[in-house]
Chain A
């Protein structure tokens, strides 16, 4: 569990993070989303005790991370995959980290196996692709088998197969009861990765909710529903204040209700559904709308 409370960081007259409050719960993959420069990395660094907050607190499992003499068994973090020494082998890099935390050597072999770098482990990291460096960074985060994991932009540079693997890994880590926080500046990356979202813009909290709830916020949010009884469903949903448009044979385009609610209503009224899809574009749209609003709001505010 990560608890961030009224966290603020100022650099001179610029405020990078402003009174940020949110909680990241175990058992979920939580997306940490915001445009470039929103303060995501600064927030992660404060959680990890690398930067001192100007005010407010950030705790992991109820304790300031910085108060742990050794960190790997408490939090695993991937901050920047390229932040490695090119002259060292992946094995030496991981073994030095493990040794500093008294983590046995076999754990190094295990995480290398886990991320698929076992065969490249003795090669110098300098020759690695960005995707391989991401895998190495993930391996380092897993070394201490920690209950909390932070990943800053982990999908950068991964090939499609790698992206699938990472998503599966994150879901598995969450299913094991760990707290998993994944940052990104791209909504599309989070769509199939996270189930909870924390969205920030200009250092302030915009939203902290489930992905489904978030999707429903967008002005263009819509759900595609397919059924044998389109007329009955359309009438039902309209009665619940949804905006329903027919979209081809047996297909409806619904705005104003989220997929979960539509499914629930259909189930209650015994209308079988053959498809229920939240349209991807609406998430991206919701993100854009919210962050744009926020920027405008901020710009108009006198400071």
Chain B
């Protein structure tokens, strides 16, 4: 065998790795999927319609409301900004979008290409989390703001004036907007840990929507678990304080506890998922 004459290749100088490159790449990946764009657009329209329908029911039935019920407005009107069924759909949609962003990479094997391009897996997961959180927060904020505007317009027809300055109104809108990134990051983390599409979807939906059904606020210990659930935390922040608590809630949480519950989910889920992704064979 002859010894090969190898020309020494001058490798192109490598620019210093920057985190914003990963953010940009994840941003491109998210928006280059037609299915994601459609899911965002159609579900946003559907959610605004849900909420519009809720507030229109108030508008139509207003004349038949008892004087006692009418007296509970405008405070009660703020609940029509974002109806519970819309919150549930929002959780399901954003949880699924978050899950899809990682599961689609694992299921197809694309994750290997991604991690070969970016061996710094921790940075990659952080970038993906930020992009998913930013996109879903914008989505949640748009839906919540639009729903508020619609409710304001509709109820003013009955001379009920809603104002974002009303105590608790901004909190309700903000909680509804933030529910989206919280659920998306939970879905993303479950996806990164489970890697399997169907299992991830079922687990995410069950955790977000089914589990809260099992825990009421009648007993101290069930209330403690219930308060940790994103859906019930949202409900706590959504309802104006002046309305008090509905019957059956013996151990209500405070608004601060509800904010902590919402924040704790992504702050625990994302690092755990990142740790798993960093250590696991691909």
Interface positions of B from 104 to 138, Cβ below 8 Å from A: 104-105, 108-110, 112-120, 123-124
- Cα-based distance from A210 to B24 in the complex (angstroms): 44
Decide yes or no: A95 and B28 within 8 Å by CB, A26-B6, A70-B17, A210-B1 being known contacts: yes
A97 contacts chain B at the CB level, 8 A cutoff? yes
B32 contacts chain A at the CB level, 8 A cutoff? yes
Q: Assess whether A102 is in contact with B116, with CB atoms less than 8 Å apart.
A: no
Given the complex, which residues of B lie within 8 Å of A124, measured CB to CB?
Answer: 34
Q: List 12 A-B contacts (CB under 8 A).
A: A50-B115, A51-B282, A66-B119, A70-B17, A71-B119, A80-B109, A83-B110, A83-B113, A102-B21, A140-B113, A144-B12, A213-B1
Given the complex, which residues of A lie within 8 Å of B34, measured CB to CB?
Answer: 87, 124
B5 contacts chain A at the CB level, 8 A cutoff? yes
A75 contacts chain B at the CB level, 8 A cutoff? yes
Q: Assess whether A88 is in contact with B32, with CB atoms less than 8 Å apart.
A: yes
Encoded as 1 (CB less than 8 Å from any A CB) or 0, chain B from 189 to 223 comes to 00000000000000000000000000000000000
Residues of B within 8 A of A (CB): 1, 4-9, 11-12, 14-15, 17-18, 21-22, 24-26, 28-29, 32-35, 104-105, 108-110, 112-120, 123-124, 281-282
Give the A interface residue count (CB, 8 A). Answer: 53
A124 nearest in chain B by CB position: B34
Q: Assess whether B112 is in contact with A80, with CB atoms less than 8 Å apart.
A: yes
Partner of B120, one of A70, A88, A102, A178: A70
Query: Which 5 residue pairs are nearest across A and B when measured between Cβ atoms?
Result: A83-B109, A92-B32, A100-B25, A27-B6, A50-B282
A203 contacts chain B at the CB level, 8 A cutoff? no
Decide yes or no: A70 and B25 within 8 Å by CB, A177-B7, A177-B8 being known contacts: no
Residues of A within 8 A of B (CB): 25-28, 45, 48-52, 65-73, 75, 77, 79-80, 82-89, 92-93, 95-97, 99-102, 124, 140, 144-147, 176-178, 209-210, 212-213
Decide yes or no: A100 and B108 within 8 Å by CB, A69-B118, A69-B123 being known contacts: no
